[in-house]
Copies of this chain bind each other. A is one copy, B any other.
Amino acid sequence: MHISRTTIAEHNDQRMFAHERRFNHLASETPQALSVLPLLEAFQVAIPSWALGAGGTRFGRFGLGGEPRNLEEKIADVGLLHALNRSSGAISLHIPWDIPEDAERIKALATRYGLVFDAMNSNTFQDQPGQPLSYKYGSLQHVDKAVRKQAIDHNIEVIRYGEVLGSKSLTVWLADGSCFPGQLNFREAFQRTLESLHEIYAALPADWKLFLEYKAFEPNFYSTTVADWGQSLLAVSKLGPQAYTLVDLGHHLQGANIEQIVALLLMEGKLGGFHFNDSKYGDDDLTVGSIKPYQLFLIFCELVEGMDARGMLHSRDLGWMIDASHNVKDPLEDLLQSVEAIKIAYAQALLVDRAALREARAASDVVRAQEVLQAAYRTDVRPLVAEARLRAGGALEPLALYRAGEVRRRLTEERGSGGRATGL
């Protein structure tokens, strides 16, 4: 399965006239649009290997055809996305499911698709066949030192795999917590976790980062041992300069002001990365921008402002990744929609008139501040995002081309319909 440059060029040619009309209108109405094009072109979002197959819930899973059966096919799928949108130039692996048997070959394959290896992800939230000790009562928090040791060793092993592939970061998401009052001594659970993290941190190469996620609930339903940004920040501050907090949009209590959290973590120099998705209730892992697109825009406003305030490079100095689960959509279509939503929000945030915003704030002019933000948000930046994609060699309408090419049908023919992508 492959979408050739010629196919993309033909697709674009057919749409070029209309696109240019729209883009030119935008560029003339919003002159700063031109200046943000390079930023949009450079912006890449990593695709996690586990998001390429159908997801599921505790109530079941509805498969689809053509799911990737191995690491090579996962890379091919991300390569396909990247060919279409030129913004998915990285893949994030999950161990043990994505262990590269022949690392050199895997690296070469990725390079062929223009992909790099983003953050490596360890897994201690479920037991693997043959695993000596169980994570039923936690991993890095476990009361039994042997279990903690097993989990620490696994994380270090994940780093080693990542080193070979050229990854530069480890993302630690812990399912650790408790389901019932009384189950845990919170303080000791936190301290055991921190102690375990120290051992993993010590194994980190000098140019690596460790990202510590937090999550309010699920799969534990009473407490989570790294439950909120404050707990993650507390831990990464104690760990050292290579440790950072990672924000997943779905990991908060209802009503949390995520954009403020992002701003404060950037202020502290401790925001490390981002997992994009959307949700209405919990960690619903829905398509980015499908539920609260304005919140996504507000978060990007903070990211842009906060990174600029620290002189950080948008495209490089934070880890950007989608973390979603695809229960009722074709995963590849969902990912195309998600990347598009991210770039739209990023483009809108880049178009905010920051001088005007600063002025409004300095005058406590709340009405004006809202007008400034919403002027950018209400702008139809789709032609701008399309233009950036075009310049990078992608398709004007990735989803339309994906469908026109009958990709899913062809993948299913190629791979069969009984397969099930691994990795969660």
Q: Chain A interface (Cβ within 8 Å of chain B)?
A: 21-22, 25, 29, 55-62, 125-127, 134-137, 142-144, 175, 178-187, 190-191, 216-219, 221-223, 227-231, 233-234, 253-257, 259-260, 263-264, 266-268, 279-282, 284, 286-287, 289-294, 298, 302, 305-306, 309, 325, 327-330, 333-334, 337, 344, 357-358, 360-364, 366-367, 369-374, 377-380, 382, 399, 424
The distance in angstroms between the C-alpha atoms of A55 and B59, with both chains bound, is 10
CB distance from A177 to the nearest CB of B (A): 9
- Chain B residue at minimal CB-CB distance from A383: B29
Cα-based distance from A191 to B266 in the complex (angstroms): 13
- Check B378 against A382 for contact (C-beta < 8 Å): yes
- Shortest distance from the beta carbon of A196 to any chain B beta carbon, whole Å: 16
Known contacts: A175-B59, A399-B367. The answer to whether A217 contacts B281 by CB under 8 A is yes
Q: Are A264 and B58 in contact (CB under 8 A)?
A: no
Residue of B nearest to A228 (CB): B230
Copies per complex?
4
- In the bound complex, residues from chain B placing their C-beta under 8 Å from that of A330 are 367
- Which of B59, B187, B366 contacts A179, CB < 8 Å? B366
* A399 cross-chain contacts in B, Cβ below 8 A: 367, 371
Given A137-B364, A182-B372, A230-B234: 7 more A-B contacts, CB < 8 Å? A62-B127, A143-B361, A179-B284, A182-B360, A222-B291, A344-B378, A380-B380
Chain B residues whose C-beta falls within 8 Å of the C-beta of A61 in the assembled complex: 126
> 8 tightest A-B contacts by CB?
A230-B230, A60-B126, A182-B369, A186-B263, A221-B284, A57-B219, A62-B136, A380-B380
Complex: A230 Cα to B237 Cα, angstroms: 13
Contact of A218 among B57, B184, B305, B309 (CB under 8 A): B57
Contact B219 A143 (CB under 8 A): no
